[in-house]
Structure formats: structure tokens, C-alpha cells
């Protein structure tokens, strides 16, 4: 079994390295895909603190990884019009590719259209993998069909932006990946909200795991990690831990 953790560490994680590392150790993953990991020295500190010897990060991009298992290859890819590169990680000895994702942030109809374009571009870029075992995980910054965001709970400037671009946000990005033949790993196993953000008042699910629907049974578990209590101080996102049975 492969234990895969997706974790947005907020603003590079500066000053919270030990707290973030403790959360990661508690989750006991084989590999971690980090978002907002824009400080390589922080990622190196996390690698040292968690004993995960293999890692990669760059100031240019939000995505990074830590791993205790061997990595065959990794690369950041940024096809037009993606504002943030996605991270491709190929595992050594396993027929499995992991794609780390961090789509454009902010809740408005304008940014939702940007996320839709970004996701379509990403899916075109990995089309050659559609018949192979792969997963996409990370912070998609959007809501799944049927899940709601209460605009009144957004900060005032974001409420204004949402109303200025059409009022209630019409979330369509996740439907694109579902229509492309992917299963929502968390939702396929759980009916509860599974909110991952923010840690001090969880109200929306922004963090996801997707894989081809034909292979969805290979997800043994997919859990929002709300412990230890330190997780609420470590970041504004709860990490998402998935246990996957590779082919």
C-alpha cells in the first residue's frame, strides 16, 4: 500500500516547520505533495525533521514533494494558460504517476473560469496517461458539484469580488474532471462534508484526490487528517491522506 499525503502548508510554511513536520510524522506517509511550498529551505527542513530523504522544491513554483520511497523522475510542467505549474512525480518500481495540483485561488466566477481553463489544460497535458494508473491530488481551490460556499462567511474583500463577478459562484471545475472519467477518491468512500479549509472553522472541501474511474477500487482509504490538535496551528488546510493499492 502507498500512503499519499496532500498538504497545503500556507505561505511557504515559514516559522511553522516543526509543527508541519509533526503533522506529517503523525500521518506517516510514504510521499507528500505540498502546496504553497515556495521556500526550498523550509521543504529541506521538513525533509530533515521527518526523515524523508528524497525531496524537491523550487522558489518558482508552489508545489513540492517529500518522499521516503525512491523517485524515478519528477518535473514541474506549466502549459498555457496555467498560472501555477503542476508537478509530475514518477515512482520507481511502481506503475504509478502522481500529479500534484494547485489551481488558482479566490472564490469568484472570474477565478472559477480560470480554474476551468487550467484544469482543461492540465488534462490535455496528461492525456497520454489516461489508460495508465495515475492520480491527481492537491488544492483545487474549488468546490465539487452539490457542495456549497456561504458567501457571507468569506472575508469582506472576497465577498465583494464574488458579488462583482456575478454573485453566487457557479462551481464547474470539478465537474470537468469527473466528466473526463475520473473518480473523486474521498467522495467515493464518504458521504460527510469532508471539509479541509480553514482549520479553525472548516466549511469547504478544497483538497482532492482523483484517479481514473476504472481504477477507483484501488483507493483503500481517503481521509481528512484533523489530528493531532497541532494541525490547526500548522496550516490553514487539513491534510488529505490516501492509501492506494498500486498495480
CA distance 17 to 190: 31
Please name the helix (run of DSSP H) or strand (run of DSSP E) that holds residue 160, with its range, or none: helix 156-164
What's the pLDDT band for 167 if we cut at 50, 70, 90? low
Model-level pTM? 0.93
Q: Compute the distance between CA of residue 219 and CA of residue 197 in angstroms, rounded to an integer.
A: 23
Instruction: List, for residues 63-76, the tens digit of each pLDDT value.
Output: 999 999 999 999 99
- Total tally of structural domains belonging to the chain: 1
3-state secondary structure of 240: strand
Per-residue model confidence as pLDDT tens digits over 37-85: 999 999 999 999 999 999 999 999 999 999 999 999 999 999 988 999 9
Q: Are strands 134-139 and 97-102 parallel, antiparallel or unpaired?
A: parallel
CATH number at 23 reads 3.60.10.10
Would the CA dihedral through 163, 202, 17, 51 be positive or negative?
Answer: negative
- The domain of 28 spans 2-244
Whole-number pLDDT of residue 86: 98
Amino acid at each position: 500500500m502507498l500512503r499519499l499525503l496532500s498538504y497545503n502548508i500556507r505561505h511557504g510554511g515559514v516559522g511553522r516547520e516543526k509543527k508541519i513536520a509533526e503533522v506529517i510524522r503523525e500521518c506517516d506517509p510514504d510521499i507528500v505533495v505540498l502546496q504553497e511550498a515556495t521556500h526550498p529551505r523550509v521543504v529541506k527542513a521538513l525533509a530533515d525533521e521527518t526523515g524523508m530523504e528524497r525531496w524537491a522544491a523550487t522558489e518558482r513554483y508552489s508545489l513540492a514533494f517529500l518522499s521516503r520511497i525512491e523517485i524515478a523522475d519528477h518535473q514541474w510542467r506549466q502549459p498555457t494558460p496555467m498560472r501555477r505549474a503542476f508537478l509530475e512525480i514518477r515512482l520507481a518500481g511502481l506503475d504509478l504517476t502522481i500529479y500534484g495540483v494547485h489551481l488558482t485561488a479566490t472564490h469568484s466566477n472570474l477565478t472559477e473560469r480560470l480554474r476551468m481553463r487550467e484544469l482543461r489544460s492540465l488534462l490535455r497535458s496528461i492525456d497520454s496517461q489516461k489508460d495508465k494508473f495515475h492520480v491527481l491530488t492537491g488544492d483545487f481551490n474549488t468546490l465539487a458539484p452539490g457542495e456549497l460556499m456561504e458567501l457571507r462567511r468569506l472575508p469582506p474583500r472576497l465577498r465583494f469580488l464574488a458579488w462583482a463577478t456575478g454573485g453566487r459562484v457557479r462551481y464547474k471545475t470539478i465537474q470537468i474532471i469527473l466528466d473526463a472519467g475520473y473518480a473523486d477518491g474521498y467522495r467515493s468512500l464518504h458521504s460527510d462534508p469532508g471539509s479541509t479549509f480553514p482549520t479553525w472553522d472548516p466549511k469547504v472541501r478544497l483538497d482532492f484526490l482523483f484517479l481514473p474511474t476504472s481504477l477507483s477500487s484501488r483507493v483503500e482509504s481517503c481521509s481528512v487528517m484533523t489530528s493531532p490538535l497541532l494541525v490547526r496551528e500548522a496550516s490553514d488546510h487539513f491534510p488529505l491522506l490516501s492509501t492506494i493499492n498500486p498495480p
